[in-house]
Structure formats: structure tokens, C-alpha cells
Amino acid sequence: YPFNMYQTDGLRIEDGSLTIYPLLTEDKFKEGFLDETLDLSNTCTGTIGTRECNRTAWGAQILPPVITGKLTTKNKFNFKFGKIEIRAKLPGGNWLIPELTLEPHDKVYGTARYESGLIRVAFAKGNPTYSKKLYAGPVLSDTDPYRSYLMKEKIGIDNWNKDFYTYTLIWKPDGLDVLVDGEQYGTIPAGEGFYPGAREHAVPHAASWLKGSVMAPLDQMFYVSLGLRVGGVHDFPDSPDKPWKNRGSKATYDFWKAKSSWYPSWYQSQMKVDYVKIYAL
């Protein structure tokens, strides 16, 4: 899990743009609330009866310290193959991650570890150290090196969170193309399928893709997801300036205790989405 929960508190419409922003959980509830119980069952869009909707803190296993927002088209609009264009301004601030993605609707290849895939339309980390690097492409595993193996990268002249850009993904029956402001910076051909490369990287669930097309698992119905994520144990490699360890049992707690090192950097932490357009091929 990331270090945030998704609630409507993190969503606004400002100047015609969808604005998704982070706020501290204790600012909404009360100081010390991270050591208590949170029950979202009445409004939860996750799986009722699981930790997605109801969680009780225990020791260092605190509640998510940050609230953000997320919108999806899951129950409204799903599609397979097409062109998606998103004009957005990415969030700036340490350990913030934009979610401009396509997610699988039915997860026919499995529900865990990206067995059914995920496609990032645009992704740039909020830390100044990382934010000149733009990525896009499919995520087909929860661990590196294969997690980022198919990602395409573009180095910006400036940080990608300084302004609005138009991010485009063309999702075809034989591959993916990624563009920013009309300039293509990567293509991911399906070739003979994603299975051979995944097998070389010992991805345990890759065999399930053999029952699909060469684009499997990216050959099913997907929906649009727009959100803001905080931290987590997959997207930031361990480093001296990172306050938690990806394999540590107290990752969320260690992140929260280092609040003074990251919270001051969140002065441009909103993600703004001007529009999303989807075209048939």
C-alpha cells in the first residue's frame, strides 16, 4: 500500500481543472488519530471487509498519514485499444507520485502483483532529484527489474511539474506509443508477446498471459484512473535521504516520523488535470 488513503477531501475543481491534492490525516481528524481505527465502509469503493475499507492501527502499523484523491471511470467507461490524451500539471514535492493510468477492469489474468497489468500514461516523481525524468509504459510486475523494464523515459529541460503538458498514449493491438506535447519519445512493440521477457526475469505469473493475444495482459478492457499517491515501497529506491526502507516493516511509520523533511516541500503538491480525451483507433 502507499502511505495515503483516497477520499473526496482530496478533490476539487479549481479554474476549470480537476485538482487533486494531499492533506495530512491528522489535520482532518485529530492529533494522534493515526493510532486509532478508520472505518470507511459506508463510502468505500474498495473491497468491503478488507484493509482497503477498514483498518486499525497496531504498534508501528499506523493508519495512512496522508489523504489524497482519486477518480476513475471504472463503472462508467472502459475501453480496449485507442488513443488517450491527458493535459495535466504533475505534482511537485518529495515522495509524491502522479497516477495517470489505465487499469484493468476485470483482471482476468489475476488480481495481485500486476498480473493483469497497468499502463502509465505519464509518470514523474515529485522530488527535485527525480522530476526531470518522465516515464510512460506498462507495469507488469511489482518488483524490479521487470517492473520498470518496459518503461520509456524522456529527460526534460526543466522539471515536469512546473507546467501543463499534454501526455498521450496510443494503445494498439501490437504495441504502445508514448508522446508528450505531440513528440513521440518511446514505442513498446508487443513482438511475440510480453511472456518471453517476463520469463527471463522470473516473473512468476507470466505464464497466464499465454492464453491471451500477443498484447496480453494488455488485451482486455481498461479504465482511466486519475489520482495522487504518496510514497509506497515500489517506486523509490532506497537511498540515504529516503526515510523508510522498502523492505522495512515500519515503512509508513518511518515516513511519518520524518514529516519535517518532506512536508515543507509540498508547496506545489497539487496535480491538475485540464482534460482527458479518448479516441478510437
Give the model's pLDDT for residue 252: 98
Domains along the sequence of the chain with CATH:
4-235+246-279 (2.60.120.200)
Whether the pLDDT of residue 42 is over 90: the answer is no
What is this structure's pTM?
A: 0.95
Contact 139, 118 (CB under 8 A): yes
The CA distance from 37 to 62, in Å, is: 9
Whether the pLDDT of residue 93 is over 90: the answer is yes
- For residue 215, give the nearest of 168, 175, 169, 170 by alpha carbon: 175
Q: Lowest-confidence range among 45-59, 127-141, 173-187, 220-234?
A: 45-59
Scan for cell 471504472, then name that residue: 74
Residues 6+ apart with CB under 8 A from 271: 19, 20, 21, 88, 89, 90, 91, 98, 226, 228
Measured CA to CA in angstroms, residue 277 lies from 38, 76, 81, 172 at distances of 36, 15, 14, 16
pLDDT above 70 coverage of the chain, percent: 100
Q: What is the mean pLDDT of the chain?
A: 97
Strand 54-56 with 70-72, pairing: unpaired
**Residue 97 banded pLDDT, cuts 50, 70, 90:** very high
The single-letter code of the amino acid at 139 is V
Whether the pLDDT of residue 274 is over 90: the answer is yes
Give the model's pLDDT for residue 43: 85
Cα dihedral 76, 82, 83, 84, rounded to 10, equals: 20
Give the model's pLDDT for residue 170: 99
Mean pLDDT of 35-60: 89
DSSP 3-state of 151: coil
The CA distance from 265 to 43, in Å, is: 31
**For residue range 227-262, what is the model confidence (pLDDT) as tens digits?**
999 999 999 999 999 999 999 999 999 999 999 999
Mean pLDDT of 205-226: 98
**For residue range 189-201, what is the model confidence (pLDDT) as tens digits?**
999 999 999 999 9
pLDDT above 90 coverage of the chain, percent: 94
Q: Lowest-confidence range among 28-37, 38-47, 131-140?
A: 38-47
